[in-house]
Amino acid sequence: MQWTRAELKEKAKFSVRSFYWPSVLAAFILALIGGNVGGRNHRDAEVSYTGNDIADALGGIVGGPWMFFFGLAMITVFVMLIAGLVLSIFVFHPLEVGCKKYFLDASDGNSWLGNLGYGFKNGYINIVSSMFLMSLFIFLWGLLLVIPGIYKAYEYRMIPYLLAEDPNLSFSEAKRLSSEMMYGEKWGAFVLDLSFILWLFLSSITWGLVGIFWVNPYIQYTDVELYKVVRTKVPGPYYAGNNEW
């Protein structure tokens, strides 16, 4: 089924206007947990040190009174990283699926904020494991080079929506279905994402206010409309031409 950016965006605007405040809240939650737009990692400026420089620096730390505080700081950072990872796996991922469920149902006229907790009440363990594996696969591909990571992120893009519709769907099946749905659609989806760049710039210069109150829900509904189009490519029980699975 062919689609155009204009068609998806027009439908998205209608959904935002129809359920404005609940959509703003759901999109804001997604933005907080990082579920709406993939984060970008920025490398620090590279600095070259000689072996003697490093030895001198370590010697100063070890020999000084700051060693205890340095070790305590490292332990604190490590604990915070572990806590953040646990929170992301067991809380943020199911919450992301719940947000996707909200936007998916709202786009069909059923705006119920109770869907935000959907991932905690339906197939929780499966959602946790599937979303973790999705993130892990994308991360591992990203270790090779940036491009493979981006490619896989687009290939697995529909997994959260698939889990929102069937929380007991296995990761392997969700990955296969998402890959089939996004076959031949990755470039179009990439260009669709780029089409929001001016909106995102406007959001950045307004301290995120435009993003909170318009751009974020607008993007979420547009992504939902893309999902509703590409899922019709999958035959069998997951064919959704009539929006029934």
- Report pLDDT digits (tens) over 88-112: 999 999 999 999 999 999 999 999 9
- Report pLDDT digits (tens) over 143-178: 988 899 999 999 999 999 999 999 999 999 999 999
Alpha carbon distances (Å) from 95 to 162, 176, 223: 14, 23, 17
3-state secondary structure of 185: coil
Residue 199 is assigned to a structural domain of this protein: yes
Closest to 172 (Cα-Cα) out of 133, 128, 141, 136: 133
Could you tell me how many helices (H) and strands (E) the chain has, helices first? 14, 0
Full residue range of the structural domain in which residue 168 is found: 5-37+58-235
Ranges of residues in the chain with a pLDDT under 50 are 35-51, 54-55, 57-58, 61, 239-245
Residue 240 is assigned to a structural domain of this protein: no
Other beta carbons less than 10 A from residue 17's beta carbon: 10
Residue 221 is assigned to a structural domain of this protein: yes
Give the pLDDT score at 58: 43
> For the chain, how many structural domains are there in total?
1
Closest to 114 (Cα-Cα) out of 97, 122, 123, 102: 102
Residue 189 is assigned to a structural domain of this protein: yes
Give the pLDDT score at 77: 83
Residue 151 is assigned to a structural domain of this protein: yes
Residue 153 is assigned to a structural domain of this protein: yes
Cβ-based burial of 188 (10 A; exposed 0-12, middle 13-18, buried ≥19): middle
Closest to 221 (Cα-Cα) out of 95, 93, 105: 105
Alpha carbon distances (Å) from 166 to 157, 214, 225: 16, 29, 18
CA pair distance 234, 224, nearest whole angstrom: 16
Residue 113 is assigned to a structural domain of this protein: yes
- Mean pLDDT value across the chain: 86
Residue 243 is assigned to a structural domain of this protein: no
